[in-house]
Amino acid sequence: KRQEKNIRQILLERLPKDIVSLLQLAGQTGQELDVAVYAVGGFVRDMLLGIPNDDIDLVVEGDGIAFAQNLGRKLGARVRPHLKFRTAVLILPGGQKIDVATARLEYYEYPAALPIVELSSLKMDLYRRDFSINTLAIHLCPPHFGRLVDFFGGQQDIKDGVIRVLHSLSFVEDPTRIIRAIRFEQRFQFKIGGQTERLIKNAVRLNIFQKLSGARIRHELRLLAEDSAPLDAFIRMRDLGLLQEIHPLLHFPQTKEALLEEIERVITWYKLLFREEAPDIWIVYFLGLVSGFDTHQVQALTSRLRFPPKRIELVESTRRQLRYVAMQLAQWGKNGGSAADLYDILSPLSLEGLLYTMAKQRKLELKKAVSHYLTHLQDVGILVTGSDIKKMGLEPGPRFANILRAVKRAVLNGEVRTREDQLKYARRMAASLQGQEPKAVS
Ligand code: ATP
């Protein structure tokens, strides 16, 4: 039964002011156009959970595109309409996005036996969604602003921490929801409900993943890897028999869990650095999942999961490098090599390969070496340029590169620091290569 309650106060207290203003403006716009407007889905769920979420999803009972264009004018936003689905995306000047969907009854197929009076277009829109916790809506139009609409018991499930589908064919309709269920379960530390879990097991028995495209599965696995607690999520998938359903080779044995756990730790560490370059986290986990596999096995998986050519290349080239890098790294540790040597060993690796290598090292000092490379060595630049060296009287050629490389090694090893020192170092190199006194540098 439809439950309603006013959460205006919670909304005003919990949401940032600019978001509240946006919602109010959306509501007023709806009133002007005589259509009902609701905030729905993950945004409402997260507000009730007290989790910040800037992704606003709106549902309009009426023409969503006309509404979006009107609201977009008021906000000075770009509007990208999608005529086929009657949706639109607003892109605000600050970069924030608002998704607008149209809820229109005639677009849904519903069983003829359903009593029509019971239907509202909002309800039909929400009924197509994955889990009850994602079906809450907040009315935004002025007299009703802040009224929470709960058709499917979403509030109670948020309170109880339960992931529950809306009907028994949900997973057959869209098997990716199974992976989503596990993702939400781990993210919120919720529990998949008993009946919902039975439906998952049933779906597995019906082999529903076999008909699902590799690209869609990969997309969901990727989201899983990027969300919180991916290892627990992968374990949950394995224990429900899902990974082996996608491909028998994905079923990782318990002995691989330590490596995956280490990957999780390294990724968490890397995220805390707030580095600009973001790794493809899924690829790092994938490297872990396929560790010890031969090339054919890896190819079987990348083809089942429809990896794009560039990702296949990344996986294959990284795997080709890994063994050699590991060997060199061990040697480097044994011989007490320099920072510049470390740089030479690690710089050919992709960021994903570096993170994987860091996770894979058993020896703490080698782990630390990789982390030192990532935090301190990777971006080291030099203050001497080719034109500086030209002024030293050298003709451009391979020797140029050698000198610049030597300066870089000296900088990496902390032997020279300032531009002056670097120039002096370069001059000395140039002189020894030329066998003559360097010219003065202005
Ligand atoms: P996140 O915080 O991960 O973005 P979200 O709930 O906002 O979580 P989205 O993937 O952005 O999730 O999806 C937006 C809404 O669309 C969700 O609230 C969900 O109800 C619905 N949805 C997404 N994917 C599906 C699906 N496969 N089946 C049904 N509904 C879906």
Residue-wise pLDDT for 121-136, tens only, equals 899 899 999 999 999 9
Q: What is the ipTM of this complex?
A: 0.94
Return the residue whose CA atom lies nearest to atom 9 of ligand 1.
Answer: 42
Q: Mean of the pLDDT values across residues 289-299? A: 96
Q: In whole numbers, what is the pLDDT of the chain averaged over residues?
A: 91
Lowest-confidence range among 52-56, 206-210, 230-234?
206-210
Q: What is the whole-number distance in angstroms between the Cα of residue 139 and the centre of ligand 1?
A: 19
Identity of the residue numbered 178: I
- Which range among 29-33, 252-256, 437-441 shows the weakest confidence by mean pLDDT? 437-441
Is the distance from the beta carbon of residue 134 to the nearest atom of ligand 1 less than 6 Å?
Answer: yes
State in Å: Cα 23 to ligand 1 middle: 20
Which residue(s) pair with 192 in the sheet? Answer: 163
CA of 237 to the centre of ligand 1 (A): 19
Q: Is the CB of 360 under 6 A from ligand 1?
A: no
CATH number of 162-244: 1.10.110.30
Query: Which residue has the least CA distance to atom 1 on ligand 1?
Result: 42
User: 0.95 cut: is pTM over it?
Assistant: no
Does any ligand 1 atom lie closer than 6 A to the CB of residue 42? yes
> Is 177 close to ligand 1, i.e. is its CB under 6 Å away?
yes
Residues 90, 75 contacting (CB under 8 angstroms): yes
**What is the b/e burial string over 72-90, where b = at least 16 CB atoms within 10 angstroms of the residue's CB?**
beebebebebeeeebbbbb
With a 6 Å cutoff on the Cβ, whether 132 touches ligand 1 is no
For the Cβ of 183 lying below 6 angstroms from any atom of ligand 1, the answer is: no
* Nearest-10 Cα torsion for 250, 255, 257, 259: -100
> What percent of the chain clears pLDDT 90, i.e. is strictly above it?
78
**Hey, which bits of 176-272 come out as E strands?**
191-192
| CATH tag, 3-160 | 3.30.460.10
Q: Of ligand 1's atoms, which has the minimum distance to the CA of residue 183?
A: 3
Question: Which residue's CA lies nearest to atom 28 of ligand 1?
Answer: 130
At residue 237 the predicted structure's pLDDT band, cuts being 50, 70 and 90, is: very high
* Domain range list for the chain: 3-160, 162-244, 252-379, 386-434
Distances (CA, A) of 397 to 5, 193, 389, 394: 76, 69, 11, 9
- DSSP three-state, residue 4: strand
Q: Which residue, by CA, sits nearest to atom 18 of ligand 1?
A: 41
Task: Pick from 40, 55, 99, 134 the residue to mutate for probing ligand 1's pocket: most ligand atoms within 8 Å of its CB.
Answer: 134
- The partner residues of 59 in beta bridges, in order of sequence, read 38, 101
Residue-wise DSSP of 86-128: TEEEEE-TTS-EEEEEE--GGG----TTS-GGG--HHHHHHHT
Report pLDDT digits (tens) over 61-105.
999 999 999 999 999 999 999 998 899 999 999 889 999 999 976
By alpha-carbon position, which residue is closest to atom 26 of ligand 1?
130
The residue written with tokens 């973001």 in the block is 278
Task: Assign domain 252-379 to a CATH class.
Answer: mainly alpha
List the strands of the sheet with 87-91, edge to edge. Answer: 3-6, 147-150, 137-139, 36-40, 56-61, 97-102, 87-91, 78-82
Cα–Cα dist 413/18, whole Å: 50
Give yes or no for residue 130 CB within 6 A of ligand 1.
Answer: yes
CA of 386 to the centre of ligand 1 (A): 53
- Measured in angstroms, how far is the CA atom of residue 140 from the centroid of ligand 1? 20
Spatial contact of 228 and 191, defined as CB atoms under 8 Å apart:
no
Task: Indicate the burial class of 96 (C-beta count within 10 angstroms; 0-12, 13-18, 19 or more).
Answer: middle
**Candidate of 129, 157, 213 to mutate for ligand 1, largest count of ligand atoms within 8 Å of Cβ:** 129
Nearest-atom number in ligand 1 for the CA of 53 is 2
pLDDT at 117 over 50: no
Identify the three-state secondary structure at position 148.
strand
Residue identifier of the C-alpha nearest atom 6 of ligand 1: 42
